[in-house]
Structure 1
Amino acid sequence: MSELRSDFLYSEEHEWVQTVGEDTVRIGITEFAQHQLGDIVFVELPDLEASVAAADSIGTIESVKTVSDLFSPVSGTIIAVNETLQDSPELVNSSPYEDGWMIEIRVEGDLQAALSSLLNADAYHKHIE
């Protein structure tokens, strides 16, 4: 059973979203997703200050099995990138909800409206069953 955080929201593409400020979210991939991918060997993330739209590809995650796109669950501007993942991509496997976070986005428009299409932990659990 994959760990889910009740205070996070989730996308159907297996990203998690944590609100970290009044207009800012932190994003990573779920424990379920990292488990499905296997050992992560490389993470490509977007540039700081890049503008992104919800559902845009914002990078890639490479594992020993495959390469997968990372999608933005919200629209906004990239304000932080987890640079540690360049040298230690395995943090996505060992700590997907803490040290393995990927980016922070300053959300464009109303935060609650931007998050309204995401799944809570119960709905995501049903999605991955």
Structure 2
Amino acid sequence: MSLLRNATAHWYGRGSDGLGQLDTGSAVLQHTPYSYTTRFAEGVGTNPEELIAAAHAGCLSMKLAFNLQVAGYTATHINTRCEVAMREGMVTESALTVEALVPGLSPERFQELVADAQQNCAVSKLLNAAIRCEATLLPSVVA
């Protein structure tokens, strides 16, 4: 099965004082603001690292739920927190903390299933993936 998902970033102005908006194909994000302030200080809006953290936490939780299902268990709840560290302009770490209530599951088996989820969720794999980028410079109008 092949799925395509999409998001679009719009940026206006310079890096340090410009403004951007994010839109997703599902319309969950519509004209969601992001800027230098939301990324490197405390502004209103989101930032790429926060979105990566949300994606990683969500992906790991879902992969763990599938792992539990295959192993014959059902979680009452799974809470996953992800903190993405950024140093010198690079994402350097994605730290996941998982808390789950799974009736009948041993702590050892839980750790095995979490380790598999961490290694095999799509976002974990993406963070180690090759990246493709195509770029087109549009002609500017000379006045």
The structure with the largest helix share of the pair is: 2
Higher strand content, 1 or 2: 1
Computing the radius of gyration from Cα coordinates, the structure with the larger value is 2
- The higher relative CO (CA closer than 8 Å, separation ≥ 6) is in 1
